[in-house]
Amino acid sequence: MKLNVQLNNGLLPDQYTKHCSNNSKHLNFPKVSFPIEITGVPENAKTLVLTLTDLDAVPVCGFEWIHWLAANINPKTTLIPENAGQDNPLNWTCGYNSLAGKYLDLKNDPMSMGYVGPAPPDDIHNYTLRLFALDYKPNLMDGFWYNDLMKAIKGHIIDQTEVNLPVKA
């Protein structure tokens, strides 16, 4: 499997980060997700799972920041279009991002599920976009947590890939 995200000079384009226009932000976070091309999904995959996290956030806030969780994506999907992280045109199951956790306690905000874009405060952060192909469709409902997702897919991953997406501060 392979993921392709267009970078600009080795960085995620500004329109998907904290450098986007004000009308593309909510609570000062970018809300428009970037397009993702997917190739090479195994024929026997029953579903796909997507995660976007920031390990470089650990020194800043004390934990890996969760930017996007999407489960039960059709395995025939070859393009996740721009702004799909909030619009959900592919009708996947949405997980909570870090806005919903106790740190910010914004679980009732509409942006707490789906995509919340990169906004590194201190330096270039490397965001990890992962795609998992599974041999079954996990029984997850909208509003699942990252730990629930990892438990649900354990032992069911038939392929996985990841790409690093650097974002400037």
Sheet of 93-94: strand order equals 93-94, 65-73, 47-54, 125-134, 157-167
Q: For position 98, what pLDDT does the model report?
A: 93
pLDDT reading at 117 higher than 80: yes
Looking at residue 59, its pLDDT comes to: 82
What is the distance between the alpha carbons of residues 53 and 141, in angstroms, rounded to a whole number?
20
Which pLDDT belongs to residue 104?
Answer: 75
- Distance CA(167)–CA(165), nearest Å, equals 6
Mean pLDDT confidence for 71-93: 96
In this structure, which CATH number among 3.90.226.10, 3.90.580.10, 3.90.280.10, 2.40.10.220 belongs to the domain 2-167? Answer: 3.90.280.10
What's the pTM value of the predicted model, to 2 decimals?
0.94
Specify burial of residue 73 (Cβ count, 10 A radius: 0-12, 13-18, 19+): buried
Length of the chain: 169
Query: Whose CA is closest to 135, among 149, 150, 154?
Result: 154
Helix, strand or coil for residue 148? Answer: helix
Q: How confident is residue 91, by pLDDT bands cut at 50, 70 and 90?
A: very high
Residues whose CB is less than 8 angstroms from the CB of residue 91 and which lie 6 or more positions away in sequence, other chains included: none
DSSP states along 42-62: -TT--EEEEEEEEGGGHHHHS
